[in-house]
Structure 1
């Protein structure tokens, strides 16, 4: 599981900082394996889990019924994969898995496609995601034109480019980054960290460095064209989610939590929450109409733009947050929790 010092910041309308009497209640969702990734499939929750040595996919309906999808790996590393990300357009589920191996201990990637009944690994040529020039995969994202996988690949100019793979007929194909805002150069290096759906397209967030100056940045895909923007007073953007025409991006600024609201990318005022260089954040969600972040700050808490409340139940690192229908779910401390 990825380390996360921040846990759950969840703030509802009218909330304020407080103790146990102000805590927000959660109920544990009992699973037979460790949850690693979440996605929504209509009103259904999709949970990527992993027992001791292989991946599984579990679905949860609105009434709480849990079912296992039939999962069919096609490669040795697919049989052992951890979930790096899941996405769905309501019909098709797309997943990215990975497990380290080989002489250099690099991640060996696996790509998965299916639905709630069955999801299959689609074997790819080794050079699709690996081999000379390979970087990392950030994860999959659904768009109106089909799923993308976002990651990095060796740049023709300097460092790594941000890379996007498209999917057709069982094959993932990396699209050219040269000549776009995804391309790195000797003057500007780009580093993606997370991706989320944004209308018909996608929003990638991360950081960049130009002439020794580090800044948080976003790269936005409208379905046809990529554009980019630097975020004010930020060192790195770590996670994002878009709804109702607004994208909420959270990250780090001078060692503390930073929160931006797009598309105009205003920096919001937030509680003073420490965020270290190695810390991760889960994407905010809407709770009772309020943009809410879940983080581990002296325990799992619920924080909005200006407030902070403790969570009653979850503890430990927050790995993922998802909203399925009107229900909010959190992976924290290696367990799945539902906001009550």
Structure 2
């Protein structure tokens, strides 16, 4: 009996020691601090060098949207000037704001009309002069063939608005709008390019960014050939602005996959899902893509948003929600860490890492900040 007791005590001590070690090895939660942006609700983040643009809305109030510039710890309002003849500009919500250090290009939207479709507004300017709204013809973004808009981008070769439009043959095509000298925007034909849907292949990009001179769209394509429906995470990349488009199907797409967001510097890091679980890919400048291995199994649904991944000294950081709790996934191919968060909850929608290693995050209805050492 005494021998059994000694063995049991040894086993208990071993289990206790292992449990303590496992507890000690668990990554510490990321501590976030709420950033005061006033009474409005943050909806977009755009970073350039040490400048952070914060797009804001007043929920439930038909008030001109706000834009703030955060630089060296100081928040400065940027003037927002709607055109008096454009009623939807006065209640627009920022969808996307592009900034290259000089010029601003903003895309706003407000529900309106008999069917409550989004009425789009386009704004340009600079942080010093403010944003000025440029009214467009109704059929520029609206009408029976209208699709969606999702991104404003600025490249060294020019600006563009990105979205979708009724297909030349079927479904929706990926669409690019380019500016004219008079402040109007014009749809560009996707016919006979990889942006066009066909009866056997439907294109479906849902967000866009830039890589040097090129535009990068991410989303998925749906194959309809031979009676089999296959949805594959896909990237569309131009050579320069709206020319020289190529399509890159991301590897290891599983049974169903979608690319949701991307960050591009020297190459691109793309986040999405494969078979309902978080997936991350890298796309190099030559157009070669690989799916990163060992990414933690965190559920991602069709309607979930993933902020663009950020790169911190070569380490990939993806903020994601699981059960409405914010988690931070970080690491490299095959080596990842998952940390809980102290502070924010709700769905993360935007994340920007600044040169001082401060990470800004919109989660729920608040702006948060943490610092990576």
The superposition leaves residues 199-252 of structure 1 with CA deviations (integer Å, 9 ceiling, x where unpaired) of 221210001111211111110112131111111233110111112x22111111
Partner residue in 2 for 1:10: none
CA distance 1:315–1:140, change in 2 (3 Å): same
Report the Cα offset of residue 297 of structure 1: 2.2
Partner residue in 2 for 1:30: 36
Separation (CA, whole Å) in 1 of partners of 2:155 and 2:93? 24
Report the Cα offset of residue 38 of structure 1: 0.9
2:331 aligned with 1:301: no
Partner residue in 1 for 2:104: 93
Secondary structure at the aligned position of 1:307 is classed as strand
Separation (CA, whole Å) in 1 of partners of 2:366 and 2:353? 16
Q: Contact between 1:41 and 1:91, CA under 8 Å: does it hold in 2?
A: no
CA distance 1:19–1:97, change in 2 (3 Å): farther
Q: What's the Cα RMSD here? A: 1.8
Partner residue in 1 for 2:73: 64
Residue of 343, 346, 360 corresponding to 1:329? 360
Q: Contact between 1:301 and 1:310, CA under 8 Å: does it hold in 2?
A: yes
CA distance 1:287–1:313, change in 2 (3 Å): farther
Residue of 196, 201, 208 corresponding to 2:209? 196
Partner residue in 2 for 1:13: none
Partner residue in 1 for 2:141: 129
Separation (CA, whole Å) in 2 of partners of 1:18 and 1:213? 44
Larger RCO, structure (CA 8 Å, separation 6 or more): 1
State the TM-score, normalizing by the size of structure 2.
Answer: 0.83
Secondary structure at the aligned position of 2:248 is classed as strand
2:348 aligned with 1:318: yes
Partner residue in 2 for 1:253: 274
2:258 aligned with 1:236: yes
Partner residue in 2 for 1:209: 222
Residue of 288, 292, 317 corresponding to 2:317? 292
Separation (CA, whole Å) in 2 of partners of 1:18 and 1:87? 43
CA distance 1:288–1:311, change in 2 (3 Å): farther
The superposition leaves residues 141-167 of structure 1 with CA deviations (integer Å, 9 ceiling, x where unpaired) of 111111111000111200000000112
Report the Cα offset of residue 41 of structure 1: 3.8
Report the Cα offset of residue 168 of structure 1: 3.2
Q: Contact between 2:208 and 2:216, CA under 8 Å: does it hold in 1?
A: yes
Report the Cα offset of residue 304 of structure 1: 2.0
**Larger helix proportion of the pair:** 2
2:110 aligned with 1:113: no
Separation (CA, whole Å) in 2 of partners of 1:18 and 1:323? 28
Q: How many residues are treated as equivalent by the alignment?
A: 323
Report the Cα offset of residue 24 of structure 1: 2.0
Secondary structure at the aligned position of 1:186 is classed as coil
Q: Which runs of 5+ in 2 are unaligned?
A: 1-21
Report the more deviating stretch, 319-328 or 68-77. 319-328
Kindly name which structure, 1 or 2, has the bigger radius of gyration based on alpha carbons. 2
CA distance 1:171–1:324, change in 2 (3 Å): farther
Q: Which runs of 5+ in 1 are unaligned?
A: 1-15
Separation (CA, whole Å) in 2 of partners of 1:289 and 1:335? 28
Partner residue in 2 for 1:8: none
Secondary structure at the aligned position of 1:127 is classed as helix
Secondary structure at the aligned position of 2:140 is classed as helix
Separation (CA, whole Å) in 1 of partners of 2:179 and 2:201? 29
Separation (CA, whole Å) in 1 of partners of 2:341 and 2:366? 14
Separation (CA, whole Å) in 1 of partners of 2:197 and 2:82? 35
Separation (CA, whole Å) in 2 of partners of 1:209 and 1:332? 31
Report the more deviating stretch, 273-282 or 17-26. 17-26
The superposition leaves residues 244-267 of structure 1 with CA deviations (integer Å, 9 ceiling, x where unpaired) of x22111111111011111132101
Partner residue in 2 for 1:11: none
Partner residue in 2 for 1:77: 88
Report the Cα offset of residue 49 of structure 1: 0.2
